[in-house]
Structure 1
Amino acid sequence: MDQIQAMRTFARVVESGSFTRAADSLAVPKGTVTKHIQALEALVHTKLLNRTTRRVTVTLDGAAYYERTSSLLADLDHLGSSMVDAQATPRGRLRIHVGSATASLVIIPALPAFYELYPDIQIDIGVSDHMVDLMADNVDCMIHVGEIADQSLVARRIANLPFVTVASPAYLERHGTPLHPLDLGAKGHSMVNQFSGRTRRMDAHEFSKDGKRVDVAAPYKVAVNESHALTTAVLAGLGISQMIGFIAHPFLEYGQLVEVLPDWTREPLSVYAVYPPNRHLSAKVRVFVDWAAQLCGKHPQRKLRSDRRSSS
């Protein structure tokens, strides 16, 4: 038995909560996972996992063993990575998770430039607007827009994203252009709202000007839980909405959307690179995060804001 590999397999089962997910993340047959666990339990003369047809739980001895082995495996990974990092360019498979708009409008279009710098990195990109379990899903890094609720995760702020309030020309032709945020609830306007797919909580519409803040709870006809759907709904003339500048930018540039209430702003959203706790930050993760931070910092949304100020 390869004891180190068996320990890695055991750790993946604990982190993912499933023999099947552990096998998938390690790219081995499920039977191999079972054999590694059985061999490890025989080696330590202790039952480490309780397995039923519905779930896998860790025994008290298994929890203690996991705590010590995860630390040992992290040290081994750090030792191996530090040697590789000192002698070679970043390489290998990188698993990331990115929100849908950030992936399709920012990250993926710029990847050819990334591969000119780091041709030996292979990237698996999971795309959705929901937080994932980094440990269970074996994700190396997540680019997340918005605050991080799980304080156990390691997060690095890489950018701030300004909002812009927009509507379609057809909508404004039918309903008129609001001159104040309070017009949104008082003059027959409709909003397109966005809600959290996890908590179902509706995002607020916040407006600030000269130190004054106005929270608007205007009527809405459509609410969605995904950024591309939000854009589609606004383009269809279903209402006014606040969206992140980089999403709105191309539609504003070609006249498909119009900015409204330009003197009223909203607190920008922070973008974070998020890592699992107690996992060594490899060279491939470091260079990707540094590249993503630079990419977000020079995106056209910055130009959109400066152009608006110069034209006012």
Structure 2
Amino acid sequence: MQNLEALAIFVRIAEMGSFTRAAESLGIQKGRASNVVRELEAQMGARLLHRSTRTVQLTEDGRSFSARARALLADAEDLSAMFAASEAPLSGRLRIDLSTEFARSTVMPALPTFMERYPGIELELSSTDRRVDLIQEGMDCVLRVGGIVDETLVARTLGTLRMVNAASPAYLARYGVPHTLEDLLAQGHRMVHYSPTLGSRTLGWEYPAGQTYAVLALPGSLSVNNVQTYHSAGLAGLGLIQAGLSSLKPFLRSGELVEVLPDLRPKSLPVSIVVAHRHNLSRRVRIFVEWLENILMPDLDR
């Protein structure tokens, strides 16, 4: 088990490219991480990592060693679980990243049940709307809304998030209710711009155009990088918004928001669970992913 622990430490260092970040993610001292690598290199008789003041990179031997180590760790996890009861106690740390809105509206209300069932799991939950780097930030899995652009990652699409156009009654009283795309321009409508990274190019107002989708360059004087802030801006009457139906339902029911242009809804967004390696999923990761999929199903179209 000590040798497997050393392999796990080495793999985390290799994935994150940093002794410091790997040690922090594993809850160990940096010195211990350094000692583990030195001992492994001595045992293997080969240099596994190139070290510099800024980066840590795998050598050619290190890449081969890392691949075999990941496979061995996954096999050890499967072997350990083979003879364990399905309800056997789980322990260890999980690092998960979720979108802020799913974390607030869906995961947090259900999380007490999960934590009560698996008290041995230490959960580190990141909640952000930016695109995190699973490997560099040491995440076990990430829930992503939108397309997956990195083909090296392993993604499983759970469903799609239906999108709607909405505005506050006060905003509509000021600008009028649009019934066509032409109304958006003729009535002088404005939108709240959303981008996970402030300063990046905003996409504009999305609408269906035949078999595809197009974008209308609609003006707006406010840009935000957080979904919940985006919703709040719409509630405050600062502009039109395009957001997930599941999260806006309470506001639409209460009348705090009104759906507009229902026949011109933006494209539904895929919601996926993403991991870095298909063959490096511990039992606790698989159980958390299964639980996450179950609680998200009511919010998604299949």
Q: Same fold (TM over 0.5)?
A: yes
| Corresponding residue of 1:253 | 253
Say how many residue pairs are matched: 301
In 2, Cα distance between equivalents of 1:8 and 1:120: 19
**AA partner of residue 78 (structure 1):** D
Per mean C-alpha deviation after superposition, the further-off stretch among 71-80 and 244-253 is 71-80
Over aligned residues, Cα RMSD in angstroms? 2.6
Q: Distance in 2 between matches of 1:231 and 1:194?
A: 10
Give 2:73's aligned amino acid: L
Residues 20/119 of structure 1: CA separation in 2 closer, same or farther (3 Å cut): closer
Question: Please, what TM-score do these two structures have when normalized by structure 2?
Answer: 0.89
Q: Distance in 2 between matches of 1:213 and 1:56?
A: 43
Q: Report the CA distance between 1:194 and its aligned residue.
A: 1.2
Larger mean Cα displacement after TM superposition, 286-295 or 187-196: 286-295
Supply the AA of the counterpart residue of 1:11: V
SS in structure 2 of the partner of residue 65 of structure 1: helix
The 10-residue stretch of structure 1 (84-93 or 277-286) with the greater mean CA deviation from structure 2: 84-93
Counterpart mapping for 1:74-89 below 5 A:
74-84=74-84, 86=86, 88=88
Structure 1 residues 41 and 199: CA distance shift in structure 2, 3 A: farther
The corresponding residue for 1:62 is 62
Distance 1:167 1:205 in 2: 13
- SS of the residue corresponding to residue 281 of structure 2 reads coil
| Distance in 2 of aligned mates of 1:28 and 1:92 | 13
**Counterpart of 2:263?**
263
TM (norm. structure 1) is 0.86
Instruction: Please say if 1:11 is aligned against 2:5.
Output: no
Q: Which moved more, 1:89-98 or 1:232-241?
A: 89-98
Greater CA drift, 212-221 or 70-79 = 212-221
Structure 1 position 175 matched with structure 2 position 154: no
CA contact (8 A) 1:194 1:225 kept: yes
Return the letter of the residue paired with 1:260.
Answer: V
Is the CA contact (8 Å cut-off) linking 1:192 and 1:234 kept in structure 2? Answer: yes
The verdict on how the C-alpha distance between 1:133 and 1:209 changes in structure 2, with shifts beyond 3 A counting, is: closer
Point out where structure 1 has 5 or more consecutive residues left out of the alignment.
Answer: 303-312
The alignment status of 1:135 with 2:135, answered yes or no, reads yes
- Report the equivalent of 1:295: 295
Secondary structure class of the residue paired with 1:50 = strand
Alignment of structure 1 residues 42-61 onto 2, 5 Å:
42-61=42-61
Paired letter, 1:79: L
Letter in 1 for 2:262: P
- Aligned-pair CA distance for 1:239: 0.8
Deviation of residue 189 (structure 1)?
Answer: 0.9
User: Structure 1 214/23 Cα, relative in aligned 2: closer, same or farther at 3 Å?
Assistant: closer
Q: Distance in 1 between matches of 2:175 and 2:94?
A: 48
The sequence identity of aligned pairs, in percent, is 39
How far apart, CA to CA, are the structure 2 residues paired with 1:85 and 1:138? 29
Q: Which residue in 1 is equivalent to 2:146?
A: 146
Native 8 Å contact 2:78 2:283 kept in 1: no
- After superposition, the C-alpha distances for 1:40-67 in whole angstroms (9 at most, x for unaligned) are 1221222222222222222222223222
- Equivalent-residue separation in structure 1 for 2:65 and 2:237 (angstroms): 58
Query: Structure 1 residue 196: deviation in Å?
Result: 3.7
Look up the SS of the partner of 2:264 in the other structure.
Answer: coil
Residue 88 of structure 1: how far off its partner (Å): 1.9
Alpha-carbon distance in 1 for matches of 2:146, 2:85: 32
Q: CA deviation at 1:256?
A: 1.4
Between the aligned partners of 1:285 and 1:181, the Cα distance in structure 2 is 45
Q: Secondary structure at the match of 1:57?
A: strand
> Residues 174 and 257 from structure 1, CA distance in 2 versus in 1: closer, same or farther, beyond 3 angstroms?
same
Mark the CA change 1:159 to 1:14 in structure 2 (over 3 Å): closer, same or farther.
Answer: same
Question: Once the two structures are superposed, what CA deviation does each residue of 1:245-303 show, in whole Å capped at 9, x if it has no partner?
Answer: 1221122222211111123222211111112214443443333333333322224x88x
Residue matched to 1:155:
155
Q: Which residue of 1 aligns with 2:187?
A: 187
